[in-house]
Structures are given as structure tokens and as C-alpha cells.
Structure 1
């Protein structure tokens, strides 16, 4: 939002494969999120693609302030107009591609859970992809970005808790549409109001806020791609 429609007066891509790229003078059209990917589209038909991974972030500060200098070695990208500077800090991925070929980066993903049109078309596509996973564990399918893009470990845990679903229930035995709608609602609430305190995520060993039982931590997916799952063995019994 800070850079949309603005002409870049400074641009630095501190990435081995992009060291010679020059974006100064280009106008930022907008930045579109797709799942966990960010697509910053420019007026010359190129897109700067970034992914935060686990530790990355974008921060916007006023141009001309000390923070806008971007001297920290943690800064991997810097985009600035005359009033705002966007700092890409510890980004996990950075690419510069033609906008027409964005699909080569994100085309393998399922529909974006937070897209404005998700209910009109994305949900049906997501459910088709869900059904193709058969009896795989529900926790694995919720994390599968090729089914629906955007759900990470926090909203995996919180969604299953809200719906009282045992994480390893076969995916073909749950109400997938309800789970996806709940995940979407929780994430949209977080976007609008800021993250709410977790009910179970990262609360292993603490009491469940609903029944008082001890919250457990286990793992979804197989090594080396496992991810933590926090759940209540009483509220979410198999």
C-alpha cells in the first residue's frame, strides 16, 4: 500500500542472482499476496517475487530517517519512493521475473485462501484438490500449499481446535469446506485486528482454555518436512 502507484527513487536487491538489477525509475503498480508469496508488480512488466519463509519480514519506514538507510546486513531488499522505504529483512526468497511468467513461481499452488474471490471459485477448486488427497491426515492436507495456499502451523492448530477435529483424522472423513472457511475467517480476523492470543498453538504443557486438559505438541507431515501441531487430546479426541 505504501508504494502502490509510486515511482522508485532507490532500489537495492541484495541477492546473489539479482545484484545487477535496476528498478530505479520504475513505478510500483501494487503488491499482491498469494499464499505465503508476495508479488510486487512494476510498470515495466516485471514482478519482484519475495517469500518470507520463517524469519523474513517487510517493514515500511519514512524515507530519509535513520532506519531507511538500510545499512543492516539483515536487509535483503530495499524499495523507496520519496516518502516511504520498504525494507525486506531476512527474506527467504527473492526473484525478479516477467509478470507474464509469474505462474512459473506460484502456478503449482492451490487457490489463495484469502483471495477476495475464494468463495466464488477458489473453495470449489480447493475441495477438488482436498478430495484428491484421499485418507491422508487432515493436518497434513491443511498444510499442503498445493491444496490451498496460505495456511501455516498457527492456523492449522487454531482451526482444528475451533472445529474439535483430531489432527490425524483421515481427510476424507471431515467437513473440508467447514475447515477451510474457519481457517479463512480466523486469518481474515488477524489481518483486520492483529493476531489474537492462541488457544493452543505454542501452548504445549499449558491448560486447554476450553476444558483444562494439557495441550500437547506432536508433528504433522513426514521428515524432513515435519511441522509442529498443538492440540487438546480431550477436546480433539480421535
Structure 2
């Protein structure tokens, strides 16, 4: 699932392509919006809210979307829908006299009044990429369930918005925190440090233009633990492992180093874990 930095970049791309332009037409391919036409309305702005996108147009309307696991928005040059708009997975097409925006495999698509955006994003906690990020409120949210694992607390968008498995796994590794430790065991000071590190990494990734964790120029392996299952830890050399955390439907996976982070997951039997893409050459990454 795209994380806060990827959604921020998507919003910026849509804003640059459409802001100030009058939409000549729209094709919203979900049943409840099938007869809706935004043509004639000018795009005011496109902004991110956590992992959500808010496309505000004239007339007090907001087109809300969420990328979920595989969704994307692409902007193409042209004055009419492109071949890409014909894909059966496309859920939204917007066009001006010079740009075509295509929303593919979107997990959510809603049209709400701008004054009622709280209906679709009001449940979210403080946005880590908001310049006015309310750190105190985020920390209060994270510590209100002290018995919960710190990873689940960080991933809960109701506590703070924008963190996914990358920006949970990486700060936990950098601070040597066991992903299955409870919020109480981690303590408020370390929880605050995790939040600050996650925000710093997200902001840096937005500025660089891609998700970057280690700061290395190696685009293939720019992470400490995320996605590196079966590979040596860059700090200690032990093997990075992955395990599910949380209950369905919120269950996710978290990557960690048993040596640097205080042991394996409670559900990890210690069996061999192969690198992602093993057999295609990806296991050669270091």
C-alpha cells in the first residue's frame, strides 16, 4: 500500500497538472458516480491527507480517492482520454484541454461536499506530512492503549496518518525497538522518538522524490530492514526476518533484525526465510 510520501507525490503531480484548469469532462467508473460529470468545474487544488487524496473543484465539491494496495493516478499530456484510460481497472478519468488524469485500481472513490470532507477523512489522526502536524495529539493517541503493540499503534491511521509498513519497520529498527513490544514497554520517550524519525524519513522522501531510508544512492536496496527478508542486516550481519502482526483485516507484516531488535517475533518459528524474489536474482542484493 502506498505510504504517506507516495500519496504526497501523487497529490503534487495531480495539482501541478490540473490546478487552475477547467475540467472538460470526467468519467467516474463506480456505480454511485456513473452519471456524475465534473466538466466545467475548475480544479482548485489537490491535497493529501494521510494516505487519502482530496481533489477540490469549483462549486464546493471534493473528489476523494484512496490508492489502497495497487492504486495510482497518472497525468498524461493530451486533450482527450488516452489508451491508458481504456483499462478495465480504471476507476476515474479527468481531462482538460491539455492534460488527462487517469485513476487506476483506486481502492476508494467518493464525491463529497468540500465542507463535509470529515465524512471521508475525519477519522484520521494528525498527518505526519502536514506542516502543522499536531505532535502532542499524535503522541496522546499512540499512548492511550498502553497494552497494544507499538507497531499496531503506529500503523493505526486513527492515531496518526501516513505511516505504513515501511515507515513503521524502519524507525523501529533505527531505535532498536522490538516490533512486538507494547506501547507501555517502549515508553513515551521512545514512542516520541519513533514518531519524530518517521516524520523525518517521510519529509526527506518527499524532498528527494522517492522513498529513501538509508540515504544511499543504491535505489535497489535503500532500506535497513523493510523488504530485506533473508538478507544480512546492514548493522550486525544477522538475517532480517518478516512476520505478520495484528489481527485481520488489519493484519500487516513487519520486517526486523532479531539481533538488533531484541529477538524474533512471537509467531516466528525460526525457519528459513528466503529473500523476496528469490530465484530471480534479487537474493544477490546486499
Shorter-chain TM-score: what band?
A: over 0.9
1:133 and 2:145 matched: yes
**Which runs of 5 or more residues in structure 2 are unaligned?**
1-14, 213-221, 264-286
- Scaled by the length of structure 1, the TM-score of the pair is 0.94
Contact 1:200 1:230 in 2 (8 A): yes
The offset of 1:66, in angstroms, is 7.6
SS of the residue aligned with 1:41? Answer: strand
SS of the residue aligned with 1:70? Answer: helix
The offset of 1:48, in angstroms, is 0.2
CA distance in 2, matches of 1:161, 1:54: 24
The offset of 1:112, in angstroms, is 0.8
Match of 1:202 in 2: 227
Match of 1:58 in 2: 73
Moved >3 Å (runs of 4+): 64-69
Q: How many equivalent residue pairs?
A: 235
Match of 2:89 in 1: 74
Does the C-alpha gap of structure 1 residues 69 and 199 become closer, same or farther in structure 2, counting only changes over 3 Å? closer
Among 195, 207, 217, the alignment partner of 1:192 is: 207
Match of 2:6 in 1: none
CA distance in 2, matches of 1:116, 1:85: 29
Q: Aligned-pair RMSD on alpha carbons?
A: 1.5
- Scaled by the length of structure 2, the TM-score of the pair is 0.79
Deviation string for 1:208-227 (max 9, x for gaps)? 11111000111121133210
CA distance in 2, matches of 1:167, 1:151: 14
Contact 2:80 2:100 in 1 (8 A): no
Contact 2:245 2:254 in 1 (8 A): yes
Deviation string for 1:35-93 (max 9, x for gaps)? 11101011110100000000001111102488466111121101111122111010000
Match of 1:46 in 2: 61
CA distance in 2, matches of 1:93, 1:23: 18
Higher strand share: 1
Does the C-alpha gap of structure 1 residues 65 and 40 become closer, same or farther in structure 2, counting only changes over 3 Å? closer
Deviation string for 1:117-153 (max 9, x for gaps)? 11xxx11110111121212110110101110011011
Match of 1:216 in 2: 241
Match of 2:274 in 1: none
Contact 1:68 1:85 in 2 (8 A): no
Contact 1:62 1:68 in 2 (8 A): no
